[in-house]
Structure 1
């Protein structure tokens, strides 16, 4: 049986999970531009934006803004 958490332990878990979410978001923002070949001077791949939208859950506009460096993780 799992021991009930104290309020302080719950707060620490919240802090830890929030930090992990921020790290994950920063990594996603780092990866998005890297999966677009045109950012590497290569020919564009048809459907790449749609694939990234589906994988990330972000809107097409938001992914395009991340790809173009117009938005940074907050």
Structure 2
């Protein structure tokens, strides 16, 4: 049996909500993985690791790390 249009719309709604939660969590995690934000010694290559893991540009990750990224990251 195929899903009705209403069921498909509800699935879209749920998936969109999950995407928003997942993005918010990524924005929350990014600053947390930079030891210098915790007053610890900087880890060489950490920015590159986060860029690779996230698919974001270096500039975008740095902005999120510094609290200047999207509203969700502030």
TM-score by length of 1: 0.93
- SS across alignment from 1:14: helix
How large is the RMSD of aligned CA atoms in angstroms?
A: 1.2
For residue 73 of structure 1, report the CA deviation from its aligned partner: 2.5
Where does structure 1 lack aligned partners over 5 or more consecutive residues? none
Where does structure 2 lack aligned partners over 5 or more consecutive residues? none
Give structure 1 regions of 4+ aligned residues with deviation exceeding 2 angstroms.
none
Number of aligned residues: 72
Alignment correspondent of 2:72: 73
- SS across alignment from 1:8: helix
For 1:5 and 1:25, the matched residues in 2 are separated by: 28
Alignment correspondent of 1:47: 45
Larger RCO (CA under 8 A, 6+ residues apart): 1
Matched, 1:17 2:27: no
Deviation by residue 1:3-44 (Cα, 9 ceiling, x = unmatched): 201110010000000000000000001100000000000110
